[in-house]
DNA sequence: CCGACCATGTAATATGTTACATGATTGT
DNA sequence: ACAATCATGTAACATATTACATGGTCGG
């Protein structure tokens, strides 16, 4: 289950609460694995039962209790084993592409919204990825620095930075590609509506 | 539920059996929405109960019965309504990117396999998409020609071809990008192993 | 006659979403 | 005091995977 390894992987870079993890799944981590709190909290309990993580309660203010989780040696071993497994790919699922191709009956307003949403989504994503990548390359990302510090040899200290640069830069280029794609589609649609003004209100 | 619309959308281009749909989910359709027979057969029954599709039994040979499904007017209306809804995006989930960034402890063999599998996967995908795109642009794809024939006006006949060209060409470019990415990552890894031959057997 | 493929199903399990539910803290 | 955010949970439901299960057809 990838959610388990998203949690364990993140905890392998330092301790954190369930809520920290929830926020992480919204921002950084969610670029590769998103999950809601309804999934995360129960899963943390399972991982703790299995001895892959431990937790201790921390009191905030006078009453509010939060649990701060840390990865165990067994947890580190589990991440390491999972990371060395052969890649597996889930079936392709892209509901918006599906909507685009089966929405071919001529609702140009819906098509325009489709492309504009796509554009907006990937422009935001590009900005987020760029900002994150900058924080990584300028060595300001605390958790990644921790991973580097944990590496046992000089050579292995290259890896944490390199894999993240590759992964995030790859997704950044993908975001740029999606932006270009959406702009070209919008240009086609502009041209279509110019050539066929009578269809512009079709649904 | 996108699976419902993958089924309905496909049936909107012509009748077909559950098994046809299963194969379709493996090849063409699966580029945007994959599903297994265990999901498809039960779902067809639900869609039929709801009056969105109908079926008639066809006997193959002397005994083998298959059910051939057709979309109803209610089904067409449902697809049309769904296609005009605002886009929704699920959380990002990319288990292989996750494996790459949390596999940063230095198993270069696993990293190499990761990149090679990625390369292989997207080279196959590129070839499939190219072949499909060619069949579409050379007007040899029967179901798409059916969609074009069904369009009520000359202007609207452009849409089925256009949206598919956009969707498949977009994914083709993405496949090319992933291929470039994997090659660059492999080049980095080659360089790393050249610089640090002692780490090449690490795990 | 045998293997590859056609054809359809169910059951158990795993994973993920949405809604419901509660209460504390912090800054204004 | 009030709002935003911190912090954690459960229940019901929806969706998807894996394994189990059966039998027919067609070509060599």
How many alpha carbons fall within 13 Å on the CB side of residue B36? 3
Q: A167 and B198: CB-CB below 8 Å?
A: no
Q: What are the pLDDT digits (tens) for A117-149?
A: 999 999 999 999 999 999 999 999 999 999 999
Alpha helices in A12-107 (DSSP H): 18-26, 37-49, 73-83, 95-102
Residues in B 137-176 with any Cβ partner in A closer than 8 A:
147, 151, 153, 155-156, 158-160, 162-164, 166-167, 170-171, 173-174
Closest Cα to residue A13, out of A87, A83, A69, A84? A69
Of A98, A156, A174, the CB nearest to B9: A98
- B86 to chain A, any CB pair closer than 8 A? The answer is yes
Residue A107 CA to residue A203 CA, distance in Å, equals: 4
Residue B203, pLDDT > 50, answer no
Average pLDDT value for chain A:
94
Q: B147 and A104: CB-CB below 8 Å?
A: yes
What mean pLDDT comes out for the span B137-155? 94
The percent helix, strand, coil of chain A (3-state, each to 5) is 65, 10, 25
A201 vs A75: which has the higher pLDDT: A75
For residue B56, give how far its alpha carbon lies from the nearest alpha carbon of chain A (Å): 24
Average pLDDT value for chain B:
94
What mean pLDDT comes out for the span B111-123? 97
Closest Cα to residue B89, out of A5, A180, A34? A34
pTM assigned to the model: 0.94
Residue B102 CA to residue A80 CA, distance in Å, equals: 8
Residue A93's nearest nucleotide, by CA–C1', is: D16
- What's the Å distance between residue B20 CA and nucleotide C2 C1'? 25
Residue B109 CA to residue B132 CA, distance in Å, equals: 34
Closest Cα to residue A54, out of A11, A108, A98, A109? A11
Closest Cα to residue A200, out of B50, B200, B156, B27? B156
Distance of CA A157 to the CA centre of its chain: 24
Q: A155 and B196: CB-CB below 8 Å?
A: yes
A118-127, B153-162, B191-200: least confident range: B191-200
Residue B26, pLDDT > 90, answer no
Question: Which residues partner with B65 through β-bridges?
Answer: B59
- What's the Å distance between residue A8 CA and nucleotide D6 C1'? 23
Q: What are the pLDDT digits (tens) for B47-93?
A: 999 999 999 999 988 887 899 999 999 999 999 999 999 999 999 99
Residue A201, pLDDT > 60, answer no
- A126 to chain B, any CB pair closer than 8 A? The answer is no
* A180 C-beta neighbours (distance < 10 Å), count: 14
* B65 C-beta neighbours (distance < 10 Å), count: 9
What mean pLDDT comes out for the span B139-155? 94
Alpha-carbon distances of A95 from A127, B6, B30, B162, rounded to whole Å: 24, 9, 11, 18
> Closest residue to D15 by CA to C1' distance?
B1
Q: pLDDT value at position B84? A: 96
- The proportion of chain A whose per-residue pLDDT surpasses 90, expressed as a percent, equals 91
Classify residue B35 as exposed, middle or buried by CB count within 10 Å of its CB (0-12, 13-18, 19+): buried
Q: B159 and A104: CB-CB below 8 Å?
A: yes
Residue A45's nearest nucleotide, by CA–C1', is: D9
Decide: B18 and B56 in contact? Cβ < 8 Å.
no
Question: Which residues partner with B68 through β-bridges?
Answer: B17, B56
Strand D contacted by A17 CB (< 7 A): yes
Q: State which H helix or E strand residue A163 sits in.
A: helix A158-195
């Amino acid at each position: 289950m990838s959610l388990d390894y998203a949690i364990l992987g993140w905890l392998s870079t330092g301790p954190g609460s369930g809520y920290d993890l929830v926020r992480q799944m919204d921002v950084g981590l969610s670029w590769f694995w998103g999950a809601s709190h309804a999934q995360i909290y129960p899963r943390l309990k399972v991982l703790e039962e299995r001895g892959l993580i431990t937790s201790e309660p921390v009191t905030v203010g006078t009453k509010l209790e939060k649990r701060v989780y840390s990865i165990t040696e067994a947890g580190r071993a589990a991440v390491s084993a999972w990371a060395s497994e052969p890649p597996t790919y889930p079936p392709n699922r892209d509901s918006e592409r599906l909507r685009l191709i089966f929405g071919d009956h001529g609702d140009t307003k819906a098509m325009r919204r489709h492309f504009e949403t796509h554009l907006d989504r990937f422009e935001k994503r590009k900005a987020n990825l760029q900002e994150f990548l900058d924080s990584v390359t300028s060595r300001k990302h605390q958790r990644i620095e921790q991973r580097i510090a944990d590496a046992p040899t000089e050579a292995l200290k290259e890896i944490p930075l390199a894999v993240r640069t590759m992964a995030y830069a790859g997704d950044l280029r993908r975001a740029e590609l999606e932006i270009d794609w959406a702009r070209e589609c919008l240009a086609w649609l502009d041209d279509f509506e110019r050539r066929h003004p009578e269809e512009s209100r079709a649904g």
